[in-house]
Amino acid sequence: MTPQRRVILDLLREKRWHPTAVELFRAVRRRLPRVSLGTVYRNLDLLSQAGKIGRVDPPEGPRRFDGFMERHTHARCVSCGNVEDLEYSGPGWTEVLRVVTGGSETTESGFRLTGHRIEFEGTCARCSLEERAGAG
């Protein structure tokens, strides 16, 4: 646990915020003026791999596009990144949450909820096969 890593972790835990790497970099630099952005990225990576911090919404890779507009859901393969459609189009999560929050669309903090984004993760058929082939 180097001083740099310590400061990063402390800052992330001091309050509930969700800084970007660059925002965090600026905050760290106030305490350790010679820190570099690369170090911040490296430590964020190490810390999240160690399960000490979380990342908001980590779908990686480029954006993907979809020619079909009927309501459906996506499943992204964590191995190859490809996206498949899922048939499910039941009640949306926003509706579920609205029930949970007593029918309100606004949270205590004044955040007005208008939608949600959901994506499933897993391993596609092809990658499942390859995994099995590779393992044994």
Residues that bind DNA (CB under 7 A): 2-5, 20-22, 32, 34-39, 41-43, 45-46, 61-63
Kind of pairing between the strands at 83-86 and 73-77: antiparallel
Q: Which residues contact 35 (CB under 8 A, 6 or more apart)?
A: 4, 7, 25, 28, 29
Q: How many residues form the binding site for its own copies (CB under 8 A)?
A: 69
Which of residues 32 and 97 has its CB atom nearest to its own copies in the complex? 97
Which of residues 17 and 88 has its CB atom nearest to DNA in the complex? 17
**Does 62 contact its own copies by CB under 8 A?**
yes
Among 6, 46, 95, 96, binds its own copies (CB under 8 A): 96
80 touches 127 (CB < 8 A): yes
> In whole angstroms, how close is the CB of 20 to DNA at the nearest point?
5
First CA to last CA across the chain, in angstroms?
A: 38
